[in-house]
Structure 1
Amino acid sequence: MTTDNTTAPTPAAATSDGMCKAVYLLYLAGLFTGITALIGVVIAYLNRNDAPEWLRSHYQFQIRTFWMGLLFLAVGSLLSMVIIGFLVLLFWAVWLVIRVIKGWKALAQQQAHPNPTGWMF
């Protein structure tokens, strides 16, 4: 008789995990559509309180990514009248892709996000 000490994710955790993945995908789609990022942050706000602790860090990271990204977009848009704004917008796009990839990687390993309150990556 062998015992397996690993715990399989519960159906609720799998659903939350799937919703968390959906938010990351919606953020990437937001690079092209915009509105999907708003849908993603709403999903993150709705799911963060019911999620296991390790997923809460991802939802917190996603919510902060949305609001910080919105700040970068506002500053970039205002500064686009002078050329530097386009560089800010380019930085925002690269910043967003890197944050989504790093978040997705930690999520795939079923680990809490290592720095959900950080500004960079």
Structure 2
Amino acid sequence: MSDNLQNDHVIIESPKPVDTTLPMVIYALYLASIVTGGLTALVGVVIAYVYQGKGPEWLDRHYRYQIRTFWIGLLYFCVSGVLMFVLIGFVLWLVAVVWLVIRCVKGFKGLQEKRSPDNLETWLV
């Protein structure tokens, strides 16, 4: 009879906690790209492409947000680089840096709150 009682107990495993270390590293790589000339951002976007689709939906949205941040940022920085010959590019480069910092901070905050980033499809912040 004791065997039957042991079989009636069901062990419920708690859901595995989601590791947000890698997306945080990607945001940090994006921030470091300001001083490395974009090299670390390239590493970050490769990581985002590799790990996209391998986690819960809210985490996958972060990877998508990071991929979009890379490509939109590349466009913004290239345009500002071309316009540096007209001197307005220096101001646009500074605006692009502020844009990148804001997007990374918003991403960090979303990761800490275990939710997807706000305004996933926007080109702004």
What amino acid does structure 2 have at the position aligned with 1:29? Answer: A
Aligned to 1:119, the other structure's residue is in SS state coil
The yes-or-no answer on 1:22 pairing with 2:34 is no
What amino acid does structure 1 have at the position aligned with 2:88? Answer: I
- Deviation track 1:37-84 (CA, whole Å, cap 9, x = no partner) reads 000000000011112100011111100000000001110011000011
Aligned to 1:81, the other structure's residue is in SS state helix
The 5 Å alignment of 1:1-121 reads 10=16, 13-14=18-19, 17-33=20-36, 34-121=38-125
Aligned to 2:86, the other structure's residue is in SS state coil
Normalising by structure 2, what TM-score?
A: 0.84
Flag the 1:90–1:9 CA change in 2: closer, same or farther, 3 A. farther
Larger radius of gyration: 2
- Measure how far apart 1:113 and its partner are: 1.3
What amino acid does structure 2 have at the position aligned with 1:65? Answer: T
Aligned to 2:35, the other structure's residue is in SS state coil
Flag the 1:108–1:9 CA change in 2: closer, same or farther, 3 A. farther
- Measure how far apart 1:114 and its partner are: 2.1
Q: Which runs of 5+ in 2 are unaligned?
A: 1-12
Normalising by structure 1, what TM-score?
A: 0.87
Paired residue total: 112
